[in-house]
Amino acid sequence: MKMLTSLPLILVAWLTLFLPHSLIAAVHTVETGDYRIEPLMESAGITIFSQVENTQTQVQFRAFGEYNWQEGNSLYFDPTTDSLSGALVHLQPNTEYEVRIVLDSPASGWQEFDLTFMTRPDTPPIDPGKVYYLSDIYYGGTLDLEALGIEGEEDGWAKIVGDVNTPIIADDGAGSAVSIGDNSYVYFENILIKKGGVQGFHAVDAHHIWINGCDISSWGRVARYELNGIAVDDDEETINYDSAFYLKRSGVITIENCYVHDPVLGANNWDSGHPKGANAFIAYANHPNPEFEGQIVIRNNIFTGSDSKRFNDVIESRFNGEVYGGFIRDSAIYNNVFAYANDDLIEMDGGQQNVLVYNNDLSHGYAGVSAVPNMRGPSYIFNNTIHHMGDDTGKMWASIKVGGLYARPEGLVNVFNNFINVYRNGITASDFEGDNAFWVNAVNNIIITELANNAVGYGIYDPQKSKSSQFVNNYLFNLKTLKPRNDAAITQGFAYPELLNLEFARSLMNQSAPKVLALESDLLIPNFSTIQAGELVVGMTQSTVGVKTAYLNKKLPFTLNMDDWGLNSYRNQNQDNLFTIQDNHSLTLTGNTWLKIGTMHPVITEHTVLDFTFFGEEGAEIAAIGFDNNNRLHGTDLMQLYGSQQFGMPVDGYQEGSYQQNLSIPLAQYFKPKRYEKMVFALDNDISQEDKKPSVTFSNIMLYDAIDLRTYSVESFTESQDDLENGRSRVSADGHALTVEGNVWKKITGNFAIDASSVLVLHVKIEGNPEIVGIGFDNDNAVMPEEVFSFGGTQEYGLVQARFTEEDGWQRLLIPVGEHLPSGNYQNLTFVVDNDVEPESGKVIFKNIALLNK
């Protein structure tokens, strides 16, 4: 058996006292002929060389200076290098750790390693003499670091600082927007690429590259034509490997807090053969110097395509059938949102020793995480949430894809604590050169599948049934067969078989993240189990992941054009007057800045809604927005969003340090309905901190009057669809919200005029797991999918605008109805919450609805 067991703690204590063999080492990469420790910021890979199979291991660790040891997970035997290898996770950056490793080897007996190492800091050391502002060095076209001579050294990196007013726009036909070459020790901050070349960032043989806070769009080639569904460029070459980050033969890379979206061209789906097209990041980490290979960190990002423009893979591996392919070793991909691919959302394929994929939100792909093949292990896939899968045709194959064990031997894939809810398969055998055997250690996962057919609906699909694999205490349930559905040799079934029922499965699906599962402590995985209130967290360990603010918010229709109104200081409060306007629609205040728009004169009625996207960074005394008539500072003029001082009328919905959020505020709850002279934006911070000035961003601000639902009769749309026994609906006291529960198709009848410019705006919140959730327009009381705009549910129906779930909470929708429906007057506005299987469950709230026309 290749999976190793742990030595009892009492034996570890005895060995600590009496074993003479003790090795001491320290700081960052630690390597001798006997072992290697490769720390990243929040994890570390450990490899002990010259070992044999069936060696028992015990791992303990602690931060330097702490008294108590923490138990680590076992090391695993890697037959490709005759080594023992494994990872420590959930570490703190820039912290020294002690690790104690005890081995009991059939070949050499007992050994003890007492080691120390230092995790990497959260930011690199910057040479103050090599700080470059993009506005000073960029004059258009490609930013070429080799031509500019920009690079740093190990103890002093070069830093390039961008800003929203200095976007990089590559020339037509350019190879990239940013060319790094082989320059190294470079830190990028706040880089906006509005137009890439074939690539966004490009490097060859570089190392120590750190990109923090970027926005990349419009990269890749334009198709000249399609050949059998595959895009071809002007040089008659198939369009493939067009990457936002194409860092060739480069290692020791960090990509964080970036928003990557909207390539020039999407990928084909499998109907035309293997998908080809753009990706967000290509794992190409085989640096010529082995010291710099691998070591890639991708964290806190949003890499997303769209329904109409999908990636090939979001993260793609190069040379994925080679040990030097992909990430290779000691890398971490965590806290990201990856969505919309016609093939894999993440490819780990190739070398995978101590490559970690965890705490990611993965959706809308043909496959979730691919580890086909694993040429060198172990690798780890843990605490991910995989949901709402499918390519642009709705087809999917696997949530976690494994195979190629004998064709490209031979690495272990650890799969721990993931939450998977998909219509097809969970852990799934997939061919590599005709070989679909795999070696997996799967423990404490929740895998809920929906359909049941040939090679469909399996929690675990392992037709080869390799004796090396272990499947232990996984909650596996199929919603169609109402029991576990597997093609695998299950090592140890779920500890609580009485919970393998539809009611409990639904309760797991309906839990908001982080989802928890009550397990006995002996079932937990040391160091890999996150505990919340005494229960194991399965899936993402936090409610939201990804970059906290999308660096570039797209301008939406019917939003205020900031340049049209003019901004001026508000009284004597505007001490710093630090602000920027991005693309006419996004206002950022910094420091101690109070501004007003004095030329707009908005009229607030009892139905006026203020709708905007908001984000705050660093602590502020007061962050607020409001309306004023007399230029006298008073708390009744401001709605306070957050802050350490209480001033103004508090508005719920945003917590300091949260991810950016859409807020929708009925103004009559705070202001008297009348005409106002000024709109006020306030950021108060009287205590100056030059190094940490707070900032707030207001973007896509809308003022509109919502439909008063009290003036309409809420009726059944069609009796055949509206379940009167299990369906309920009610209008809120202010007339702005409609709540529908159960299996409900409702309508209000009026006169809704739609032209080509029309946009339907509303905020929605889903509870439970309804089958179809949507809104639409109709004239004949006939159910027509082309008249329904869906935005959630387990089934795909109508004109899909989004795929929200309960975990998404309140979400804003702007639906361009005029682009989809013929112009004219429509009698009915329809509300759809379809739930035929479980008509008593599911609830949706529609609020602050308006049909806007130019």
Check if the beta carbon of residue 371 is closer than 8 Å to that of residue 364: no
Query: Residue 165 has what pLDDT?
Result: 80
Query: Residue 795 has what pLDDT?
Result: 83
Give the span between the Cα atoms of 725 and 742, in whole angstroms.
9
When mean pLDDT is compared across 29-38, 293-302, 720-729, the lowest value belongs to: 720-729
DSSP state of 141: S
The model's confidence at residue 23, banded by pLDDT at 50, 70 and 90, is very low
| 691 shares its domain with 721 | no
Whether the per-residue pLDDT at 10 is higher than 60: the answer is no
The string of pLDDT tens digits covering residues 98-131 is 999 999 999 888 999 999 999 999 999 999 999 9
Q: What is the domain count for the chain? A: 4
Whether the per-residue pLDDT at 690 is higher than 80: the answer is no
Whether the per-residue pLDDT at 453 is higher than 50: the answer is yes
| 604 shares its domain with 725 | no
| 768 shares its domain with 644 | no
Rg of the chain over Cα atoms, rounded to whole angstroms, equals: 28
pTM for this prediction: 0.85
Whether the per-residue pLDDT at 18 is higher than 70: the answer is no
The string of pLDDT tens digits covering residues 808-824 is 889 999 999 999 999 99
Query: Residue 835 has what pLDDT?
Result: 85
Backbone CA torsion sign across 679, 685, 690, 691: negative
Domain stops at, among 61, 90, 118: 118
CB-based contacts of 473, cutoff 8 Å, min separation 6? 443, 444, 492, 493, 494, 495, 519, 523
141 located within any domain: no
| 234 shares its domain with 287 | yes
Which CATH number do you get for residue 50?
Answer: 2.60.40.10
Ordered DSSP codes for 491-533: SB--S-GGG-SHHHHHHHHHSPSSEEE---GGGSPTTT--EET
Check if the beta carbon of residue 269 is closer than 8 Å to that of residue 275: yes
Ordered DSSP codes for 760-808: EEEEEEEES--SEEEEEEESSS---GGGEEEEESSS--SEEEEEE-GGG
Give the range with max mean pLDDT: 14-28, 468-482, 507-521, 766-780: 468-482
Whether the per-residue pLDDT at 5 is higher than 70: the answer is no
CB-based contacts of 710, cutoff 8 Å, min separation 6? 731, 735
Number of other CB atoms surrounding residue 614 within 10 Å? 23
First-to-last C-alpha distance (Å) of the chain: 69
338, containing H or E segment: strand 337-347
When mean pLDDT is compared across 39-53, 195-209, 328-342, 596-610, the lowest value belongs to: 596-610
The model's confidence at residue 445, banded by pLDDT at 50, 70 and 90, is very high
Whether the per-residue pLDDT at 22 is higher than 70: the answer is no
128 located within any domain: no
Unique residue bearing structure tokens 């549910």? 793
Q: What is the mean pLDDT of residues 752-769?
A: 94
Whether the per-residue pLDDT at 1 is higher than 60: the answer is no
Q: Cis bond leading into 263, ω under 30°?
A: no
The string of pLDDT tens digits covering residues 196-235 is 999 999 999 999 999 999 999 999 999 999 999 999 999 9
Which CATH number do you get for residue 602?
Answer: 2.60.120
Q: What is the mean pLDDT of residues 800-812?
A: 85
Unique residue bearing structure tokens 């409990």? 504
Whether the per-residue pLDDT at 603 is higher than 60: the answer is yes
Give the range with max mean pLDDT: 153-167, 416-430, 714-728: 416-430
232 located within any domain: yes
Whether the per-residue pLDDT at 550 is higher than 60: the answer is no
Query: Residue 499 has what pLDDT?
Result: 98
| 409 shares its domain with 329 | yes
Give the span between the Cα atoms of 315 and 743, in whole angstroms.
39
Query: What are residue 296's phi and psi, to 5 degrees?
Result: -105, 130
Unique residue bearing structure tokens 């100056």? 688
Q: Sheet holding 535-538: strands in order across?
A: 515-517, 535-538, 531-532
206 located within any domain: no
The string of pLDDT tens digits covering residues 351-406 is 999 999 999 999 999 999 999 999 999 999 999 999 999 999 999 999 999 999 99
Whole-Å CA distances, 807 to 32, 513, 587, 633: 47, 6, 29, 39
Query: Residue 8 has what pLDDT?
Result: 36
| 690 shares its domain with 732 | no
Q: Which pair of structure tokens corresponds to residue 139?
A: 């004059």
Q: Which three-class secondary structure state does DSSP give residue 203?
A: strand
Mean pLDDT over each residue of the chain, to the nearest integer: 91
Query: Residue 233 has what pLDDT?
Result: 94
Higher pLDDT, 20 or 52: 52
Q: What is the mean pLDDT of residues 789-811?
A: 86
In percent, how much of the chain has pLDDT > 90? 78
Give the span between the Cα atoms of 582 and 554, in whole angstroms.
10
Whether the per-residue pLDDT at 707 is higher than 80: the answer is yes
| 768 shares its domain with 679 | no
Give the span between the Cα atoms of 31 and 713, in whole angstroms.
74
257 located within any domain: yes
Q: What is the mean pLDDT of residues 65-83?
A: 96
Largest Cα–Cα distance in the chain? 87
Q: Which pair of structure tokens corresponds to residue 13?
A: 């204590």
| 329 shares its domain with 466 | yes
The string of pLDDT tens digits covering residues 127-181 is 999 999 999 999 999 999 999 999 999 999 999 999 888 999 999 999 999 999 9
Whether the per-residue pLDDT at 703 is higher than 60: the answer is yes
Q: What is the mean pLDDT of residues 680-699?
A: 83
Whether the per-residue pLDDT at 771 is higher than 80: the answer is yes
Q: Which pair of structure tokens corresponds to residue 535?
A: 């229960």
Domain stops at, among 659, 674, 705: 705
Q: Which pair of structure tokens corresponds to residue 541?
A: 């360990």
Whether the per-residue pLDDT at 25 is higher than 50: the answer is no
Ordered DSSP codes for 264-306: SS----GGGSS--SEEEEEEB---SSGGGSS-EEEES-EEE--
Query: Residue 653 has what pLDDT?
Result: 80
Residue 705, amino acid: D
Q: What is the mean pLDDT of residues 235-257?
A: 97
| 452 shares its domain with 578 | no
Residues composing the chain = 854
87 located within any domain: yes
313 located within any domain: yes
Q: Which pair of structure tokens corresponds to residue 784?
A: 């027509």
DSSP state of 717: S
Domain stops at, among 118, 136, 152: 118
Query: Residue 850 has what pLDDT?
Result: 97
Query: Residue 714 has what pLDDT?
Result: 92
The string of pLDDT tens digits covering residues 614-655 is 988 878 899 999 999 988 888 899 999 999 999 999 998 887
137 located within any domain: no
| 580 shares its domain with 689 | yes
Q: Could you list the residue range(s) of the whole structural domain that residue 758 is in? A: 709-852
| 315 shares its domain with 446 | yes
Q: Which pair of structure tokens corresponds to residue 853?
A: 């026309």
The model's confidence at residue 581, banded by pLDDT at 50, 70 and 90, is confident
Give the span between the Cα atoms of 595 and 824, in whole angstroms.
42
| 499 shares its domain with 626 | no
Query: Residue 9 has what pLDDT?
Result: 32
